[in-house]
Amino acid sequence: MAYQYDLFVIGAGSGGVRASRVAASKAYKVAVAEGSALGGTCVNIGCVPKKLFVYGSEYGHGFSEAAGFGWKHEGVSFDWSVLRDNKTKEIERLNVIYGNLLGNAGVEVISGYAKFVDAHTVEVAGQTYTAERILIAVGAKPFIPEFTGSDLVVSSNEMFYLDSLPEKALVVGGGYIAVEFAGILNGLGVDTSLAYRGDQLLRGFDEDVRAFASEEYVKSGIDVRLNTDVASIELADKADPAGKRIVHFKDGSSEEFGLILYATGRVPNVASLALDKAGVETGKNGAVIVDSNFVSSAPSVFALGDVTDRIQLTPVAIKEAMALIDFWFEGKAVDFDYDNIPTAVFSQPSIGTVGLTEQEADARGLDFRVYQTDFRAMKHTLSGAQTRSLMKLLVNNADDKVIGAHMVGDYAGEIIQGLGIAIKAGATKADFDATVGVHPTSAEEFVTFSAGALKKR
């Protein structure tokens, strides 16, 4: 059968754009459908604007810390609209770049949301398109549980376009998005509380990292409330839908906030795809089930990135796209290593992690040792801030290889990238020890761990 396209991509996010561009460069006839802005979540309502907000919010702490270095900062003020609108201009610039990248590669961009008609056909805005292969790369969306007053909260999507900042805000959730936005709001001068129903923030991270980071968030000025859950929410003034909200907690207490952000996870964005018409099976939370080569239950339909609910990270989606291209054009079976993926949380302080946590290493039955230290960075000897940094290294005793590295502190994301290369390459503790440290930096701690830093386990 003759199809209109060799490949039709649903979703122009990071993974979809990479797959479509490279496929087009290899002479595939490719179309991509996108109902929102080009670039997907990361560019528009995710990592890029979030990081810009983090940069902006860090000045809130920086001005006070500068006094110890001789800087006076009387009369400093913050204008939310400037940060918000400058961010939007930057995102619009990136949208144009993504459009040019696709256009220059020969990819046809179709505006609108696609849904399946069958395993080789999709419909966009009433028009049908056929393709030999269809790639689902629609990402994920925020999940907000339904309860009385859930319509009075916002998700991370809306945070990037608020008309104004509240005086007081509640962030609900305990994952990376929750702690990042709590840090942003706190740094921008908002009285910020972070409520999480569990015993500790950042489930899935190393336990020492979780505990240490939580303490540092409190030091930074965030009101962290663990074992706290919301029962219901109502308007303080029924005549003012944009006004303050009253939160009723499950412990019986109530409190008023100007903004309530729910950062309670993300789920695959598949509701409107009509996957059943293509015979595409889904699993937990609607995630598209794929095999190791990203093939779904329909042989002509593939999926990658957040919609598969494996590891929801932009660089992972891009790497998956490249692995899929190699599978299609080179016949290489995908051998994607989901271990040793460097990850950063842009909270304040930031977190960087790569490899196994101490708990994961224990669960795998490994014989390993742990080097760990925490300290006050040189900068804060003058800034007056009581912020501390944590560094942790896991070493497998069988072969001396470093199997995990974790950090909480300034520039953790930048530092962990280099360690990710070393761990991916199989570096040993002896290799770390033989590396000359860059002095004076926090990063040098990772190559100067001695027996005195061994953690008792």
| Residue 383 phi, psi (nearest 5) | -70, -25
Cβ neighbourhood burial of 23 (10 Å; 0-12, 13-18, 19+): buried
Give the pLDDT confidence score for residue 337 in this predicted structure: 84
Nearest Cα residue to 341 out of 372, 322, 315: 315
C-alpha angle with apex 407: 447 to 312, nearest 5 degrees? Answer: 125
Within 8 A by CB and 6+ apart from 201, the residues are 174, 175, 178, 179, 194, 210, 213, 214, 217, 224, 226
Give the pLDDT confidence score for residue 393 in this predicted structure: 98
Structural domains in the chain? Answer: 5-142+267-330 (3.50.50.60), 150-264 (3.50.50.60), 343-453 (3.30.390.30)
Rounded Cα gap, residues 230 and 243, in angstroms: 19
Query: Where would I find the beta strands (DSSP E) of 56-107?
Result: none
311: its two tokens:
């590891």
Nearest Cα residue to 346 out of 155, 213, 170, 153: 213
Beta pairing, strands 254-257 & 121-124: unpaired
- The alpha-carbon radius of gyration of the chain (Å, integer) is 24
| Residue 450 phi, psi (nearest 5) | -115, 180
Asked about 439 being catalytic, the answer comes back as yes
Instruction: For residue 369, count other CB atoms closer than 10 A to its CB.
Output: 15
pLDDT digit string, tens, across residues 154-172 = 999 999 999 999 999 999 9
User: What b/e readout covers 39-69, taking b as 16+ CB neighbours within 10 angstroms?
Assistant: bbbbbbbbbbbbbbbbebbbbbbeeebbeee
Task: State the pTM of this model.
Answer: 0.96
Q: Which residues of the chain have pLDDT under 50?
A: none
Q: Cα dihedral sign for 62, 63, 64, 65?
A: positive
Which of 61, 73, 120, 439 does the annotation list as catalytic?
A: 439
The single residue listed with the structure tokens 């990270």 is: 313
Give the pLDDT confidence score for residue 339 in this predicted structure: 87
What are the DSSP calls for 130-170, one per residue? Answer: EEEEEEE---EEE-----TTGGG-B-HHHHTT-SS--SEEE
Structural element, H or E, at residue 255: strand 254-257
C-alpha angle with apex 241: 237 to 244, nearest 5 degrees? Answer: 55
Give the pLDDT confidence score for residue 125 in this predicted structure: 97
Give the pLDDT confidence score for residue 124 in this predicted structure: 98
Give the pLDDT confidence score for residue 1 in this predicted structure: 79
Give the pLDDT confidence score for residue 257 in this predicted structure: 98
